[in-house]
Amino acid sequence: MYNIDEWKHIFKLDPAKEISEEMIDKICESGTDAIMVGGTDDVTLDGVLQLLSRIRRHTVPVILEISNIESVTPGYDYYYVPLVLNSQDKKWMMDVQHQAVVEYGDIINWDEMFAEGYCIMNEESKVFQHADCKLPTQDEAIAYARMAEHLFRLPFFYLEYSGTYGDPSLVRSISQELGHTKLIYGGGIETKEQAAVMSEYADIIVVGNALYDNPKEALKTVKVTK
Return the residue nearest ligand 1GP (CB atom).
186
Using CB under 6 A as the binding rule, whether residue 116 contacts ligand 1GP is answered as no
CB of 73 vs ligand 1GP, minimal distance in Å: 20
Taking the least distance from each CB to ligand 1GP, the nearer of 98 and 126 is 126
From the list 16-24, 49-57, 133-141, 184-192, the region that binds ligand 1GP by CB under 6 A is 184-192
* Shortest Å, Cβ 160 to ligand 1GP: 5
Q: Which residues of 171-199 are buried (b: 16+ CB within 10 A; e: fewer)?
A: bebbbebbeebbbbbbbbbbbbebbebbb
* Short-list 211, 208, 159, CA closest to 184: 159
Tell me which residues in 187-226 interact with ligand 1GP (CB under 6 A): 187-189, 206-210
Q: Which of 136, 163, 168, 215 binds ligand 1GP (CB under 6 A)?
A: 163
Task: Indicate whether 37 belongs to the interface with ligand 1GP (CB under 6 A).
Answer: no
Measured CA to CA, the distance from residue 85 to residue 11 in angstroms comes to 23
H or E segment to which residue 144 belongs: helix 138-146
Report the run of H or E that residue 114 belongs to, with start and end: strand 113-120
Instruction: Return the number of other C-beta atoms located less than 10 Å from residue 211's C-beta.
Output: 23
Query: What is the binding site for ligand 1GP (CB under 6 A)?
Result: 12, 160, 162-163, 186-189, 206-210
